[in-house]
């Protein structure tokens, strides 16, 4: 594992480009968000998606993977048409600690088993992650860095992350201690927006 340290508010652009180049070439990365640390790869990296599921010891459906996008315009490239109500809600909450479940389009479905018809999308409020996306060839597809321990649900300390995942993952983007709270999940696939999980993001 190659561990690179990033300043929370002013990440080094040269280091970001190095990480992005490696992700674009197919490598797996652990990175900070505005909630807990996540593990991901390019959404077009079918082999990488399968590897992440093996690392996390989950089937693809259980992994609850989400696209990390820089803005709503990019999100709309990977989903069916977003309704006005959903668009306004996304504008109100994003960027922030929210995951929106939307209906995916055919382009997204071809990279997943069983033609994944729904996809989680996120625009985290995290400068490291936002700056990284400038250099990526496609959005990241990611899942939370969960622990199988009932007491400690997530890995939030980069030292512990390195110790456990050093021989499993290519890159660790160290942005300091992560949060212990999950994102708030809003299901937008029905006629009304439904709160599936109340997390760090308040719903108002």
Residue 38: give the domain boundaries: 2-197
User: CA-based angle 147:99:71, to the nearest 5?
Assistant: 125
List the chain pLDDT tens, one digit each, 204 residues.
999 999 999 999 999 999 999 999 999 999 999 999 999 999 999 999 999 999 999 887 777 899 999 999 999 999 999 999 999 999 999 999 999 999 999 888 788 765 578 999 999 999 999 999 999 999 999 999 987 665 568 889 999 999 999 999 999 999 999 998 999 999 999 999 999 999 999 998
How far apart CA 70 and CA 130 sit, in angstroms, is: 6
Q: What is the rounded distance in angstroms from the CA atom of residue 107 to the CA atom of residue 129?
A: 24
CATH number at residue 107: 3.90.870.10
Beta strands in 84-161 (DSSP E): 98-103, 118-122, 140-144
For residue 202, is it within any domain? Answer: no
Residue 91, in any domain of the structure? yes
| Inside any domain, residue 121 | yes
DSSP three-state, residue 15: helix
Identify whether 14 is part of a domain: yes
Domain membership flag for residue 203: no
Total structural domains within the chain: 1
């Amino acid at each position: 594992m190659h561990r690179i340290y990033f300043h929370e508010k002013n990440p080094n652009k040269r280091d970001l480009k190095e990480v992005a180049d490696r992700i674009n070439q197919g490598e797996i990365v652990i990175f900070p968000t505005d909630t807990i640390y996540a593990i991901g790869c390019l959404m077009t990296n079918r082999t990488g998606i399968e590897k992440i599921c093996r690392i996390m010891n989950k089937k693809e459906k259980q992994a609850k993977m989400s696209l990390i996008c820089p803005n709503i315009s990019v999100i709309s490239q990977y989903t069916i048409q977003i309704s006005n109500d959903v668009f306004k809600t996304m504008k109100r909450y994003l960027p922030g600690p929210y995951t929106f479940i939307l209906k995916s389009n055919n382009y997204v479905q071809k990279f997943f088993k069983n033609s994944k018809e729904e996809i989680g999308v996120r625009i985290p409020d995290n400068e490291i992650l936002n700056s990284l996306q400038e250099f990526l060839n496609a959005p990241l597809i990611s899942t939370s860095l969960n622990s199988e321990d009932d007491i400690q649900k997530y890995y939030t300390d980069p030292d512990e992350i390195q110790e456990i995942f050093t021989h499993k993952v290519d890159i660790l983007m160290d942005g300091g201690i992560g949060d212990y709270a999950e994102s708030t999940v809003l299901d937008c696939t029905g006629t009304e927006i439904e709160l599936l999980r109340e997390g760090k993001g308040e719903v108002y």
